[in-house]
Amino acid sequence: MKRVYFIPLIVLTLLAIPFTAMKFTSEVNWSLFDFVLMGFMLLTVGFSIEFVWRKAQQKRKRFILLLSIIAIFLLVWAELAIGLFGTPFAGS
């Protein structure tokens, strides 16, 4: 249960990377909305992984669910960043 307290800390640490990069280069240009959206996505993924880890008893089922959560996150992230699928939400 104590792992739940580390998820927001990990998210803040990950969000500090682009925030710090913005101070040193103009190639990283995130708005407040970008930070809020990525924070929400990372928190959702983190808490989803924690939930599956606690509730799924069978190792195979746990593995499939965790892999699905990570794959969905990466696909959404890629779409928002570079427009992988060409939806109206695409970045750049």
Q: Collect all residues with Cβ–Cβ distance below 8 Å to 16 and sequence separation of at least 6.
A: none
Cα(34)–Cα(61) distance, integer angstroms: 33
Tokens 């924690």 appear where?
50
pLDDT band at 85 (very low <50, low <70, confident <90, very high): confident
Predicted pLDDT at 33: 92
Q: What would the pLDDT profile of 32-71 be if each residue is shown by its tens digit?
A: 999 999 999 999 999 999 999 999 999 999 999 999 999 9
Phi-psi region of 76 (alpha: psi -120 to 50; beta: other; left: phi over 0): alpha
Structural domain spans, the chain: 3-82
Give the pLDDT band of residue 11 (cuts 50, 70, 90): very high
* 56-71 residues labelled b (16+ CB within 10 A) or e (exposed): eeeeeebeebeeebee
